[in-house]
Amino acid sequence: MEEMEEELKCPVCGSFYREPIILPCSHNLCQACARNILVQTPESESPQSRRASGSGVSDYDYLDMDKMSLYSEADSGYGSYAGFASAPTTPCQKSPNGVRVFPPAMPPPAAHLSASLAPVPRNSCITCPQCHRSLILDDRGLRGFPKNRVLEGVIDRYQQSKAAALKCQLCEKAPKEATVMCEQCDVFYCEPCRLRCHPPRGPLAKHRLVPPAQGRVSRRLSPRKISTCTDHELENHSMYCVQCKMPVCYQCLEEGKHSSHEVKALGAMWKLHKSQLSQALNGLSDRAKEAKEFLVQLRNMVQQIQENSVEFEACLVAQCDALIDALNRRKAQLLSRVNKEHEHKLKVVRDQISHCTVKLRQTTGLMEYCLEVIKENDPSGFLQISDALIRRVHLTEDQWGKGTLTPRMTTDFDLNLDNTPLLQSIHQLDFVQMKASSPVPAAPLLQLEDCCTHNNSATLSWKQPPLSTVIAEGYILELDDGNGGQFREVYVGKETMCTVDGLHFNSTYSARVKAFNKTGVSQYSKTLVLQTSEDTDSEEQALTFPSSSERLQLRRMSPFSSTLNLQPNFSGRSCFDIRSSAHQLSLHSSLQSLNAPGCNFETQSAPFSQLVAWFAFDPGSAHSDIIFSNDNLTVTCNSYDDRVVLGKTGFSKGVHYWELTIDRYDNHPDPAFGVACIDVMKDMMLGKDDKAWAMYVDNNRSWFMHNNSHTNRTEGGITKGATIGVLLDLNRRTLTFSINEDQQGPIAFENMEGLFFPAVSLNRNVQVCILLLQREKTFSLQQLQRFMTLPWVTELLSV
């Protein structure tokens, strides 16, 4: 019964109910507490004035707007209280059990007046502290509320059951344990008090004394005071008003407001309501049983979570320890390589020291011997050996001059540890969500009415299914190579439309789309087959090109072009612009003729197609210190530090060549030229990180650099007006450089694979311009023949 204790306590005082009354909202209050929370309303807010005016605006922001209206319910005399303008706005207080209690608007009644006898001010209002419904009291005041006799009985039984032992009721200081109870006096006595106050003689001899436990039972079974009518205090309740849902007396039925209401016998309704309460309790009991089982399940989950946490922590520690062990093993291997390099350098230097020491000793001995010979005064004897000595001296001097005094080993270690990817992996190390917190998106739907092809470009559009509730964070568009090969990604982003240019003419491509979010990737859409147009621009060429059938054959033999321009062509579309032209050598292609077997350039009609790659510098991705001019074809910098700028066009297949000219070159800086990934660092020299492959050059020599590794120092520098050539052969996966039409060093880099953008790094002392890249420019046969005679191009073609 301990769980029931909160039901037996008043929400105002927090103690057990004393003389509880029932409010019309079915909640209970102590009669004294109800008097303490009364609030006096203005005369204008009386039930009659509000009924006439219809006013209902409340200054209390905590009053419930859905108050019950007891005026409309059988005219019981209690109305809904909607507020009053002069009411105090003091915030409500908290009772001991946490329920809000509205403060009284007037001082409590005098101490000598009891709660039941003190007068109630006119137009008083009482607000239920539990549901906050406000009620205007009528002339009867608190006497108009029925008393809850049942609640009093439950509290009595609860308090008696809580008593561990019955105490004597007559002991003055420390009550002793009771030994008997007098049924007539209804008093518990200890033995001394019984002998003193209840002697077994005279009239008291006829009283019946029983053990305390039996007396407690008899108290429980004694008839309680019968509840009387609130309107007629001398009448007991005898019937039940069905419409008002309250017990009434006989006089209420004859004279009162219940005379026309339907009534039923009090005992029958008592049994009916007891039956209904028992049935409701059965359902509530089932819910309570389920709640207990659920609590047991939750407690088991707590234990299981603790066990799983310990197991998971142990697994995590083991995994991290394994990573640390692997790192330590790799550390030992790298240290071993450093030690080997250290020993090798020391051995070379020590051998050179030993060799130089021996040679220096021999030279010193020869010098001392020659000096002694010079001191001799015998001319004939001197002349006999002087020629041999002179030859030995010259020979020894020549031996010292052939690199003998140059260190064979540098003090710097050529090893360079690149720990950036590992650090990034460590920073990205995270838990994988084993179970999806949300579903993956549905497969997108291709909008066929918006999908089309034009010449060698294709536009695709898609959307999410109309009934899909899962939001897609982006889409992946895939296209095959036009020959039924594997699909590959050509677009990743949030847009739902993409235009792909530079496809092969007269070719059939297949396209499909899938959506993704944080949970995963959706299924593919249906595959869409697209047919590009035939090529009809051969008549506009400045040179004689192969016939249509020959070009078609060459195109089908060439790889799928993939020059990606990341600039949007128009609002609402993200376009990977794959540029290609059959007649402008200033535009990019995949060098189809050079890729074709048996191709040569011995005659004017030799097949040749689009070697020079067209692009301009990209202001969007460049460092903020880069200065653009000449339609983004010329760049310089306003900083003394090196800054990187990329071209707009990226290459992943084919052979591509471009040239850059040095418009300004002051104070011998070392600009860098090459290719880079889109995420290359823009605030350092090109080639310092692992995202760029470059040649940096000053006025005397050049070096190749990737990932801050410097290789292949080559004599020959640049001046103002010099031309830098860059040949990116993605068929052979090589990168080659030239200066003023002469190849600079060997093949700079091999195994080039991926998407590369032309790149330059420079400072304020250099200005660079893209050469041969005018939009409308075509090239004569003489220019092409000069280009074909370049040594490195000839070598490329011979291969």
**pLDDT, position 776:** 36
Name the nearest CA neighbour of 334 among 344, 346, 342.
342
Dihedral of the alpha carbons of 465, 470, 471, 474, in degrees to the nearest 10: -70
Most confident segment among 105-114, 150-159, 653-662, 768-777: 653-662
CB 137 within 8 A of CB 193: no
- ∠ CA 222-228-230 to the nearest 5 degrees? 150
C-alpha to C-alpha distance for 555 and 549, rounded to whole angstroms: 10
Higher pLDDT, 561 or 758: 758
pTM exceeds 0.75: no
**pLDDT 10s digits, 367-393:** 998 998 898 888 888 888 888 989 889
Whose CA is closest to 707, among 735, 681, 733, 739? 681
CA distance 716 to 723: 13
Hey, which of 32-41, 455-464, 773-782 has the most confident mean pLDDT?
455-464
Least confident interval from 3-17, 42-56, 563-577, 770-784: 563-577
Dist. CA 20–CA 6, nearest whole Å:
15
The answer to whether 658 and 613 are in contact (CB under 8 A) is yes
Which tokens belong to 177?
């344990």
**3-class secondary structure for 154-204?**
HHHHHHHHHCCCCECCCCCCCCCECCEEECCCCEEECHHHHHHHCCCCHHH
CATH (residue range 445-532): 2.60.40.10
CB contact at 8 A, 256 and 238 = no
Is pLDDT above 60 for 575? Answer: no
Amino acid at 247: P
Residue 651 has pLDDT above 70, yes or no: yes
pLDDT exceeds 60 at position 44: no
- pLDDT value for 120: 64
In this structure, CATH architecture of domain 1-41+120-169: 2-Layer Sandwich (3.30)
What CATH number belongs to 626-771? 2.60.120.920
**CA–CA dist 413, 773 (Å, integer):** 43
CA angle 415, 420, 425 (to 5 degrees): 135
E strands within 226-368?
Answer: 239-241, 246-248, 263-265
The H-assigned helical ranges of 414-507 are 420-427
On whether the CB atoms of residues 643 and 762 are closer than 8 A, the answer is yes
Cα 530 to Cα 763: distance, rounded to the nearest angstrom: 47
Give whichever of 113-127, 154-168, 273-287, 753-767 has the largest mean pLDDT. 753-767
Question: At a CB cut-off of 8 Å and minimum separation 6, what does 605 contact?
Answer: 544, 546
**Spans of all domains in the chain:** 1-41+120-169, 229-261, 272-400, 445-532, 626-771
**pLDDT the model gives residue 130:** 86
Q: What is the H or E stretch that residue 126 is in?
A: strand 124-127
Quote the CA–CA distance of 585 and 541 in Å, as a whole number.
9
Lowest mean pLDDT among 58-67, 179-188, 630-639: 58-67
pLDDT band at 219 (very low <50, low <70, confident <90, very high): low
Measured CA to CA, the distance from residue 247 to residue 270 in angstroms comes to 10
**Cα separation values, 748 from 647, 697, 733, 736, Å:** 20, 13, 11, 5
Measured distance CA(256)–CA(146) in Å, rounded: 16
Which range has the top average pLDDT, 253-262, 269-278, 509-518, 768-777? 509-518
What per-residue confidence (pLDDT) applies to 36? 84
Residue 579 has pLDDT above 60, yes or no: no
pLDDT for residue 85: 33
Confidence of residue 306 (pLDDT cuts 50, 70, 90): very high
